[in-house]
Amino acid sequence: MKYKAIYWFILSPFIKSYLNIHFSKSQTKEFTKKAKSFYKDLLAKADDIGEKNPMASNLYFALLLFSFFLPNKANISLDMFKDLMNYYFISQATVTSCFNLQKSWASIVFLFE
C-alpha cells in the first residue's frame, strides 16, 4: 500500500499522548521514530486493496496502531497495548468522525446538526 501522511499526522498524536502518560518524552520520541519507519515497512508489505476501497482507512489505522506496538514490544506490554487501543479509539473518535479520509483531500464533514 502507498504511504499517506494524512493518517500518520491525524492519528499518531493520540498514540503519543497516551505514551507520554506512561513514558518519558524521550522514550516516546524514540518509540515514535521506530514506529514511523516500521509503519512504512508494514505498508510496503501489505497487499494493496485499492484507494477507493472503504476498508482502506481501517487497514491504515490498524497498521498505524501495530507500528507502535511491534517494534517496542520490550517496553509496551500486551495489557498496555489493549489500554492504548481503548484510549486511542475514545480519543480519536470525535476527531476522525469529522473527516472523510477516503477523499484525496481529506474533506471535513460537519456532522453537527
| pLDDT digits 0-9 by tens, 55-87 | 888 888 888 888 988 898 888 888 888 888 888
CB-count exposure of residue 66 (10 Å: 0-12, 13-18, 19+): middle
Nearest to 96 by CA among 87, 107, 104: 107
Q: What is the DSSP letter of 60?
A: H
| pLDDT digits 0-9 by tens, 10-67 | 888 888 888 999 999 999 999 999 999 999 999 999 888 887 787 888 888 888 888 9
pTM over 0.85: no
Which carries the bigger pLDDT value, residue 48 or residue 110?
Answer: 48
CB 69 within 8 Å of CB 23: no
φ/ψ of residue 105, rounded to 5: -100, 10
Which carries the bigger pLDDT value, residue 1 or residue 73?
Answer: 73
Segment (H or E) for 107: strand 107-108
Residue 8, pLDDT > 50, answer yes
Cell 470525535, residue located: 94
